[in-house]
Amino acid sequence: MSAAYGEHKGFLAAGEGERLAFSGAEFLVKASARTTGGAFTVIEERDPLDTPRHSHEHEDELFIVLEGEHVFEVGDEELHAGPGDVVFAPRRVPHAHRRVVPRTGCFLTLTSPPGFESFFRDLAAAEQSAEPQAEAYARVAAKYGVTWG
């Protein structure tokens, strides 16, 4: 019998993890600050949304493309990435992401230090409470040190 999600678990099968949804997209927390003992966070984004230019005050992000063709902007570089490619976006460096074919593809996002999964939890909770989307994004972004633009 497997442990409940949230406890240390050395294996998650495909499709397992903490499911979060907002803006018509689904995010699967595969590893959290809690489950990794504070080492990192991994979130799977399937059929992801395009993410406008932004920067993180606290986290570095590493994107591992599993499916589809994606375009990442990191600083002044435009990077075309497909399955097996890895893109690094250091903290405080503006970056953006879009799919070549909208809403198709899959990638993993690893963040360090961990804890950014709470950004996604807060956005999912805001949508469930019917908080206006623009207000929720501004409030949650400020809370987690994300600057848009």
| Domain residue spans of the chain | 18-148
Both tokens assigned to 60: 């570095």
Average pLDDT of the chain is 91
Q: Which residues touch 43 (CB under 8 Å, ≥6 apart)?
A: 27, 28, 29, 30, 108, 109, 111, 116, 117, 120
Q: How many alpha carbons fall within 13 Å on the CB side of residue 134?
A: 0
Does the predicted TM-score (pTM) go above 0.75?
Answer: yes
For the stretch 93-135, pLDDT in tens is 999 999 999 888 999 999 999 999 999 999 999 989 988 988 9
User: Does the pLDDT value for residue 23 go beyond 90?
Assistant: no
Please say if the pLDDT value at position 142 is more than 90: yes
Q: Which CATH class is domain 18-148?
A: mainly beta
Q: In what order do the strands lie in the sheet with 41-46?
A: 18-22, 25-31, 41-46, 106-112, 60-67, 86-89
The whole-angstrom separation of Cα 31 and Cα 18 is 9
Query: In angstroms, rounded to a whole number, what is the distance separating the alpha carbons of residues 139 and 129?
Result: 14
pLDDT at 5: 46
